[in-house]
Amino acid sequence: MKDTDINDFKEMWTTELKDYSLIRVPFTEEERYVICHISNTSYVIIEDDKDAEAIVKKMIEAGVRIVTDESEMWNRPFGDA
């Protein structure tokens, strides 16, 4: 089985950054996030926890919108896309 290359997901923190947001998972001691694909009104599931953490880190470094309330997450963060 091939290891995942997180660069396969680079659109999430580069060219399609405006199409995503992260929602902070409450009730956890460590910082945990759910990746939301705004354009498709869906969640992104990345099966490998280490890959997911690396992808979320890249998204945060790139300035992806982070929300704490689920009602905020489907709004486009930067105006037009």
Q: Let me know how long the chain is.
A: 81
Return the amino acid letter for 58: K
Residue 14 lies in a domain: yes
Q: Tell me what pLDDT residue 75 has.
A: 60
Closest CA to 34 of 42, 25, 26: 25
Residue 81 lies in a domain: no
Q: How many domains does the chain have?
A: 1
Return the amino acid letter for 52: A
SS3 26: coil
Q: Tell me what pLDDT residue 77 has.
A: 52
Residue 26 lies in a domain: yes
Q: Which residues of the chain have pLDDT under 70?
A: 1-3, 70-81
Domain holding 39, by residue range, is 6-70
